[in-house]
Structure 1
């Protein structure tokens, strides 16, 4: 099992390293235009203009910062911080008295995020190399944890939620945007490398995902939003097109499969007494 987990992580690390070098992507969200797609998943034009160019790699499936109700002075951790988009938006919310820590296991992503940080002259953002299953963060550090279309990529999701619980302070908040399944998808897609990197093959069934959060110790687990991404956007994604071609999936069948995939925004709280 551990060997399999290591293979999955290496596959994801390699795939996202390439994405960082290309400076753009489409994690299940389409490729007609980075700005247009980002707006479709919940970012405003004002937010996108407030971050350094190159921070938005179109890797998200939502805007967790928008619903996190961040307060000045809070400490925020972003699981799978990519080019730094959500970190920079969070940094604007928490101010100079607060701090944002982005964690990513891909060195190329960290290089880009740090360059974006310097470009934007952020003094309250730090990026750390590490796996979200083994966070390089001390216990009871954060007030809020955010994550955007990343946890579905983990081969050990229960461990991710356990780590999130560990580093949150009592009464700390979890705010996640992620992809989940309404029903099982074909086995051929589950085993497909491109589909995994495209945030589809690694997605859990919705209730299983919520149960994993609860088992980690969180309470007040709630889906705040649930959205199906437009089919036209999904099939314009280069990764989706590659998977469809490899597996000889018709457009009609693709519509059925993608109909099983939804983007959710989930919130949860670490109890005061632990």
Structure 2
């Protein structure tokens, strides 16, 4: 399957989600309670639910939380300091950019890069509604980041790198735009231990577009992620599991390669997939 086909499938899915939210006038309210802070209000997505504490999203537009389709909370795990420059790869509706902007304060900047016009429109609306003035949303591909070398202190991302068709290039670009000593701190779905031999046709699973857009088929193994970061030049690499998944967590459109497995075997395979916090550093 070619890279453009993957990119088009991902863009179509996330553009559609953003367009739905932009058309929903009821979503203009702000998140002031737990009833409105789960992505499953939009899609029934258990992978994305319950990632943010109520106090974190207080005062943010409801559309921010509804458009949050990640697998973790990188802003809670990363160390952000006032005055820092943060970049979110695949910023979507903007939740992690807005939370980062709050933490780096008026002397800092939080950038978000996204390839979908609809998500960028939604993110900019959300920033305006939240009164956040130090958030900048840029159109671009995370494999070709529209920022100069050494321009940010911290890179975050939330379940987006697994969607990229050119993951090695994404990691190289992340390394390029970080300043020396800069940090890489992303949440992503990772296959720990790789896929077991019972998945006889891994290539077929990787070609499943619906599962790719749903963050399953494009996931890297833990060793692939480590190697990709090291090859890009990163050091101090670590992977920390934040949530290991079960069958009940998976989207309806599981790869066809899973269908032939017994329930016990399917559970074993799915148990290899985990939300993971990936840390690394660019050497000084």
* Bigger relative contact order (CA 8 A; separation at least 6): 1
Cross-structure match for 1:68: 78
Cross-structure match for 1:196: 212
Cross-structure match for 2:40: 31
Cross-structure match for 2:114: 104
Residue 274 (structure 2) pairs with residue 262 (structure 1): yes
Per the alignment, do residues 53 and 249 of structure 1 end up closer, same or farther by CA in structure 2, a change over 3 Å counting? farther
**Which deviations, in whole Å up to 9, do the C-alpha atoms of 1:160-197 show, x marking residues without a partner?**
11101110111111101001113225533322111000
Cross-structure match for 1:17: 15
Cross-structure match for 1:169: 179
**Which deviations, in whole Å up to 9, do the C-alpha atoms of 1:70-119 show, x marking residues without a partner?**
00000000000000000011011000110011000111111111111111
Residue 254 (structure 2) pairs with residue 243 (structure 1): yes
Cross-structure match for 1:8: 6
Per the alignment, do residues 222 and 13 of structure 1 end up closer, same or farther by CA in structure 2, a change over 3 Å counting? same
1:59, 1:259 → 2: CA distance? 20
* Other structure's SS at 1:76 match: strand
User: Structure 1, unaligned stretches of length 5 or more?
Assistant: 235-239
Q: Is the 8 A contact 2:258 2:266 kept in 1?
A: no
Q: What is the CA distance between 1:225 and its match in structure 2? A: 3.6
Q: Is the 8 A contact 1:51 1:89 kept in 2?
A: no
Residue 229 (structure 2) pairs with residue 213 (structure 1): yes
TM-score by length of structure 1 reads 0.86
Q: Is the 8 A contact 1:37 1:58 kept in 2?
A: no
* Other structure's SS at 1:242 match: coil
Per the alignment, do residues 173 and 95 of structure 1 end up closer, same or farther by CA in structure 2, a change over 3 Å counting? same
Cross-structure match for 2:145: 135
Cross-structure match for 1:237: none
1:61, 1:10 → 2: CA distance? 22
Output the aligned Cα RMSD.
2.6
1:30, 1:124 → 2: CA distance? 25
* Other structure's SS at 2:249 match: helix
Correspondent of 1:52 among 44, 48, 61: 61
Residue 245 (structure 2) pairs with residue 229 (structure 1): yes
Q: What is the CA distance between 1:45 and its match in structure 2? A: 1.3
Q: Is the 8 A contact 1:244 1:250 kept in 2?
A: no
Q: How many residues align?
A: 260
TM-score by length of structure 2 reads 0.83
Q: What is the CA distance between 1:37 and its match in structure 2? A: 6.2
User: Structure 2, unaligned stretches of length 5 or more?
Assistant: 23-37
1:168, 1:65 → 2: CA distance? 17
Q: Is the 8 A contact 2:46 2:249 kept in 1?
A: no
Residue 84 (structure 2) pairs with residue 86 (structure 1): no
* Other structure's SS at 1:92 match: helix
